[in-house]
Amino acid sequence: MTDFENKTLEELKQYCRDNNIRGFSRKKKLQLIDLIKEYHKNTSEEDNKIDKEIVDNIIINNSEEDNKIDKEIVDNIIINNSENIITTMSNYNMTQKTPFNKQLTFIEVCAGAGGLSKGFIDSGFKALLLNDTDKYCIKTLKMNHPETNIIKDSMVNLDLEKYKDKKIDVLMGGVPCQSFSQAGKREGIKDNRGKLILHFIKMINILIPNVFIIENVQGLVTHDKGNTLRMIINEINKIGKYIVNYKVLNANDYSVPQNRKRLIIVGINSSINKKFNFPQPHKYKPVLKDVLEKCPESPGVVYKKDKHDIMKIVPEGGCWVDIPDKIAKQYMGKSYESGGGKRGILKRLDMMKPCLTLLTTPSQKQTERCHPIETRPLQTLEYSRIQTFPDDYKFSGSINQIYKQIGNAVPVNLAKAIAKEVMNVLHN
């Protein structure tokens, strides 16, 4: 069992979130350790029972000699009844595709600050290459992954030859797709972003990974009446080797204290003959209190005096509609008369609810992200915690650059949930 005594308070809380252990938010370190141990005591007997009927029906996809199940190996099988996944504690080769003693690998392009890659690395994958064009993101990646090959360049210029024979397990990235709609219609593109998805598909065809993942905004589903997404999938289908599925996932369903919806497109190499299942929502939906309570001070932007004086009268969870009409009208100007919701203006967050989607700054007029209790924008460490980066994850650049990197990132816990399902496909 994990040595919980050597964990920090925040690491213990994160462990509770990852394992859906309730009632941890107000407990001190020793109380948390007792809570976790009690949880394991109550679940271990049920989870570790080996169902003889299931073991008898295991099919090992190897030779007749390999199909003889050694008693010692069978004794090490643990059946996780809650998720119906059979795993093994040995290095026994249960499949021809991916031996259990082989560390799974990935390449990520458009990696940004590394939220997606951090989730995969924490889940046991090894990064062979991380790529981005932003110098601050590159420095952030290098600070956190000093042993990894990290390249600052357009993904179009990457030399893939040395990776062709490595049999990459996962190729992934948050590749811009919206401009592809014009490219698909052969009407030309005003910028080069639309060409990136075409090159990513070319990379799939060159490397033939076991799995590819494209992460994007949920609006891609309806962009150009759905034509953009259909054209992308059609281009991938021309390779003729992948079963493609996509789904919009809300990060709050996966131990992230934020409502943040992202489109995840997953392709599984048809030679694997294994269906990919998107992760099931976790039982516990974290709220801001889980990460903001006792959060250490960190750098952040501040309000000017006139903005501060207005924000301090906004109640927790409220916005411009909750302040005197005269003040709201003066602050909002012409937008006050335009009608509509505009509930992001002068928005103060709520401790007992998930955060609204983090953006590249916490203090835009139309999309305010004011601390629930204190009259100030969210600070950078609070931003990072809401995106479920660990507290020791380092970001480079100015305060504004750090906000931008974090705001654009994939939440780490969402990435972990996806990585777990990918690992199930490759290891089963």
Catalytic sites, residue numbers: 177
Q: How far is CA 422 from CA 124, 148, 223, 269, in A?
A: 11, 21, 27, 12
CB atoms within 10 A of CB 79: 18
Beta bridge partners of 278: none
Measured CA angle at 2 (ends 409, 386), to 5 deg: 20
CB atoms within 10 A of CB 211: 23
Tokens linked to 333:
């100007």
**Contact status, residue 54 vs residue 86, Cβ threshold 8 Å:** yes
Integer Cα distance of 402 and 407 in angstroms? 8
Name the residue type at position 63.
S
What's the 3-state SS for 251-291? HHHHCCCECCEEEEEEEEEHHHCCCCCCCCCCCCCCCCHHH
Integer Cα distance of 253 and 46 in angstroms? 25
CB atoms within 10 A of CB 36: 20
What's the 3-state SS for 338-381? CCCCCCCCCCECCCCCCECCCCCCCECCCCECECCCCCCECCHH
Q: How far is CA 27 from CA 126, 203, 282, in A?
A: 35, 48, 21
**Contact status, residue 232 vs residue 177, Cβ threshold 8 Å:** yes
Residue 43 class from Cβ within 10 Å (0-12 exposed, 13-18 middle, 19+ buried)?
middle
Tokens linked to 134:
């932003």
Measured CA angle at 331 (ends 325, 332), to 5 deg: 85
Name the residue type at position 20.
N
Rg of the chain, C-alpha, whole Å: 24
3-class DSSP state of 397: coil
Integer Cα distance of 346 and 323 in angstroms? 10
Integer Cα distance of 372 and 387 in angstroms? 17
